[in-house]
């Protein structure tokens, strides 16, 4: 049975509304522009997020990951370690 959730209905409704408002001629260019806008916004947010996290915080996160791995798998470096 086909199951359509509320998110899919919202997306389909939005696309149908765009098609009715802009017509078929402008629909493809409007959809492309909207996709580029969303993609650019996502890239900008990711760049801002990476710029906001200082180098020291990244180093501390890496150190914590290393300590966690040592605690889970032991300090023996010669043996093969299992991954969770």
Least confident of 33-37, 44-48, 72-76, 79-83: 79-83
Which residue blocks in the chain are alpha helix, DSSP H? 6-52, 55-73
- Can you give the pLDDT at residue 40? 92
Domain ranges within the chain, ordered by starting residue = 6-73
pTM summary value: 0.43
Q: Look at residue 46 and give its three-state secondary structure.
A: helix
* pLDDT band with cut points at 50, 70 and 90 for residue 78: very low
Q: Output the CA–CA distances (angstroms, integers) from residue 28 to 17, 41, 60, 78, in the order listed.
A: 13, 20, 47, 59
Alpha carbons 10 and 16: distance in angstroms, whole number: 10
Q: How many CA atoms lie within 13 A of 54 on its CB side?
A: 3
Convert the pLDDT of each residue in 7-54 to its tens digit.
888 988 988 888 888 887 787 888 788 889 989 999 998 888 877 777
């Amino acid at each position: 049975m086909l199951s359509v959730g509320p998110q899919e209905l919202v997306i389909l409704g939005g696309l149908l509304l765009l098609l009715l408002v802009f017509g078929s001629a402008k629909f493809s260019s409007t959809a492309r522009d909207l996709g580029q806008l969303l993609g650019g916004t996502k890239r900008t947010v990711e760049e801002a997020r990476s710029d906001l996290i200082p180098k020291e915080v990244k180093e501390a996160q890496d150190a914590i990951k290393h300590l966690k791995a040592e605690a889970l798998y032991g300090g023996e470096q010669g043996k093969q370690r299992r991954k969770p």
